[in-house]
Amino acid sequence: MKRLLRKSLAAAVLFGLTSASAFAQAHLSSSFDGTWWNPTQGGRGVLFSYIPNANAVNQGTLFAALYTYNAGGSPVWVTLQSEGNASAVAKEIPAKMFVGSGGSFGDDFDRSKVNVQEIGTAKFIINSCNSVDIQMQPSVASGLPVSTYKLQPFQKSNACGTVVQQCPATTIDLGNGQCQLPSAISGNLRLPKGKTYIVQGQVSVRAGGVLTVDPGVTVMGSTNRSQPNFIAVLADGQIVADGTREEPITFTGPEAVPGSWAGVVLAGRSICNDAPTTDLGCKFEAIPEVLYGGTKLDDNSGVLRYVRILWAGQVINANEELNGLTLCGVGSGTTLDYVQVHGGLDDAFEFFGGTVSGRHLVASQVGDDMFDFDDGYSGRLQFLLGWQGSQNSDQGRDSNGVESDNSNQNNELLPRTRPVISNLTMIGSANGNEGMRIRRGSGGIYYNTVVTGFADTCFNVDGASSAALTASDLTAHYSFVGQCKAGNFEGAGQKVWDAGTGNRTGDPMLNGWMPQAGSPLLSGGQAPNEGYFIRANYVGAFDGSDDWTRGWIYNVGAK
């Protein structure tokens, strides 16, 4: 049986209004810790815990625990668990009741001696953000009476978050808890939790506009696919999507299939090598309105933190899908941290020029490249996971872990594509292509990188222009190549590898993406000695004990 309660039951139910109906429909989350009680009944109380389902929008499991007495006066510890996935916006949630017995207090605890018995049914009734009832129907054999607890937050700080009684101004109320975003955002638009926000067509955050997305919010592409549904944050606009581990922000399509919607585009005034000294001199081919580039290296397009972008890649032009997250000339003032792109038809992350840096980026089960660098990108990235998986039928000969190009038209164009990357884990599948493909005059400085499991080679440096950068603008240090079907190296890959320091090959000994005990990845690493990078003496994105993806990413399937 699923574990009844998390380790701490001084737990977490956040109720935020999400409906303009007569009652105050609540939105459950795990953001706030708190105890609920009835002050008129001698302090009778309940500990709640709501655990969001990382793989289902607005779904989760609601737990409760209370200490009471049976008809004979003996103390009983009762727990309640919602049946199946509970909707975070449901007014009534059916549950089951359990009691536990056995076990012991102290270091000699033995789980096998604990007996958990189902004793009846219950119903959580969410009246408002300040009122919850629990109707309990225990069996006769349990010795507990039928009862109803009427509860309120023990402290005001555990009560409501933002009250959402109607769709925000400038959005369209579609009913059924959905608000359609406007096609253009020029001022400040905040999306509080409690509604699902619909993207119909192109939604542009224009110069001076700020789109703020609260933790736990879901932004969804429309079911109307007559045109591509995507968000474009244009130069001098900003998006502030600052989620939490417990309440990540989700951008997704209406169906959990690749290409269900188009994706997210950010454009800024940082450099691009097609027009390095011209303000907004570069054009995103897929969307001509998106102009980018300039000399403002620290340009700020906002914040993406604890964000999941799912099922992107809707066709935007003939034979052209949009990436999950496209970054065009985005500057170093922008925050990228704990961002996952999953299940798209095209690339997960693609950087066209720019100087934006980022940490804790996850690319999973996309149809094309996981990390793609072009047009003079020169940012710094640390703790990256690429998990190709095998559940995207669009994977094929163009599905690489890293693909890095300088310029297709002029391989020697300056400034050159030269990302600086540390602690990169690239794990391929039988359906993909190469682990790392560096070509067309691209450089790159790679530290603490592990590449394994790809259907073609692990490390390919393709063409004379990139090969000529060996030991200068193209290096690999303290890195590890595992096993790829067509061999470890291709082109000048071996040359670059041998010119580096501390590089190794062999069995990385991974359990999924985590190094096992005794793995060679657990030592022999060294991050770049630059201010941005966090010290790391291990190879790959994980140190063997801290799986920083836990609790916020969309499930990538079997590891």
pLDDT in tens, 234-274: 999 999 999 999 999 999 999 999 999 999 999 999 999 99
- For residues 17 and 26, the answer to whether their CB atoms sit within 8 Å is yes
* Domain span holding position 363: 357-553
Among 97-101, 486-490, 498-502, the minimum mean pLDDT is found in 97-101
Residue 8: inside a domain, yes or no? no
Cα(80)–Cα(4) distance, integer angstroms = 8
Tokens encoding 210: 């700020």
Residue 51: inside a domain, yes or no? yes
pLDDT in tens, 127-152: 877 788 999 999 988 888 898 999 88
Among the candidates 95, 123, 158, a domain finishes at: 158
Cα(214)–Cα(136) distance, integer angstroms = 34
Instruction: Say which residue, 153 or 363, is predicted with more confidence.
Output: 363
User: Does 79 share its domain with 131?
Assistant: yes
Cα(387)–Cα(512) distance, integer angstroms = 9
- Residue 102 confidence class, pLDDT cut points 50, 70, 90: confident
pLDDT in tens, 297-321: 999 999 999 999 999 999 999 889 9
Closest to 212 (Cα-Cα) out of 229, 225, 231, 226: 231
CA pseudo-torsion sign 366, 367, 370, 376: negative
Among the candidates 158, 191, 213, a domain finishes at: 158
Phi, psi (rounded to 5 degrees) for 443? -105, -160
Q: What does the pLDDT read at residue 33?
A: 56
**Percent of the chain residues past pLDDT 70, beyond the cut:** 89
Helix (H) or strand (E) holding 499: helix 493-499
Q: What does the pLDDT read at residue 434?
A: 97
The yes-or-no verdict on residue 428 having pLDDT over 80 is: yes
User: Does 411 share its domain with 548?
Assistant: yes
The yes-or-no verdict on residue 26 having pLDDT over 70 is: no
Residue 518: inside a domain, yes or no? yes
Q: What does the pLDDT read at residue 162?
A: 47
Residue 344: inside a domain, yes or no? no
Cα(340)–Cα(310) distance, integer angstroms = 8
User: Does 139 share its domain with 242?
Assistant: no
Sort strands 44-52 and 59-69 into parallel, antiparallel or unpaired.
antiparallel
Q: What does the pLDDT read at residue 16?
A: 32
pLDDT in tens, 186-210: 999 999 998 999 999 999 999 999 9
User: Does 417 share its domain with 508?
Assistant: yes
User: Does 67 share its domain with 146?
Assistant: yes
- Residue 75 confidence class, pLDDT cut points 50, 70, 90: confident
- Residue type at 223? T
Q: What does the pLDDT read at residue 1?
A: 31
Q: What does the pLDDT read at residue 114?
A: 79
Task: Please state the separation of Cα 478 from the chain's center in Å.
Answer: 28
Average pLDDT on 510-529 reads 98
User: Does 145 share its domain with 184?
Assistant: no
- Residue 30 confidence class, pLDDT cut points 50, 70, 90: low
User: Does 136 share its domain with 187?
Assistant: no
pLDDT in tens, 330-347: 999 999 999 999 999 999
Among 100-114, 246-260, 373-387, 389-403, the minimum mean pLDDT is found in 100-114
User: Does 194 share its domain with 154?
Assistant: no
Among the candidates 127, 158, 189, a domain finishes at: 158
Q: What is the mean pLDDT of the chain?
A: 90
> Is the preceding peptide bond at 192 cis, omega within 30 degrees of 0?
no
Residue 119: inside a domain, yes or no? yes
Residue 347: inside a domain, yes or no? no
Q: What does the pLDDT read at residue 9?
A: 36
User: Does 76 share its domain with 218?
Assistant: no
Cα distance between the two ends of the chain: 22
User: Does 219 share its domain with 278?
Assistant: yes
User: Does 412 share its domain with 540?
Assistant: yes
The dihedral over CA atoms of 494, 418, 327, 426, expressed in degrees to the nearest 10, equals 30
Q: What does the pLDDT read at residue 8?
A: 35
Phi, psi (rounded to 5 degrees) for 466? -75, -40
**Percent of the chain residues past pLDDT 90, beyond the cut:** 71
Instruction: Say which residue, 24 or 311, is predicted with more confidence.
Output: 311
Number of domains in the chain: 3
Average pLDDT on 521-531 reads 97
Query: What DSSP assignment string belongs to 321-333?
Result: EPPSEEEES--TT
Q: Residue 337: which residues within 8 A CB-CB, separation 6 or more?
A: 304, 305, 306, 358, 359, 360
pLDDT in tens, 429-444: 988 899 999 999 999 9
Q: What does the pLDDT read at residue 115?
A: 83
Residue 297: inside a domain, yes or no? yes
Q: Residue 78: which residues within 8 A CB-CB, separation 6 or more?
A: 65, 66, 67, 68, 97, 98, 99, 119, 144
The yes-or-no verdict on residue 425 having pLDDT over 70 is: yes
User: What are the angstrom distances between the C-alpha of 333 and each of 34, 228, 358, 445?
Assistant: 36, 29, 11, 21
Helix (H) or strand (E) holding 404: strand 402-405
Instruction: Say which residue, 33 or 168, is predicted with more confidence.
Output: 168
Phi, psi (rounded to 5 degrees) for 438? -115, 125
Residue 431: inside a domain, yes or no? yes
Q: What is the CA radius of gyration of the chain?
A: 26
User: Does 126 share its domain with 250?
Assistant: no
- Residue 31 confidence class, pLDDT cut points 50, 70, 90: low
The yes-or-no verdict on residue 176 having pLDDT over 50 is: yes
Average pLDDT on 480-507 reads 98
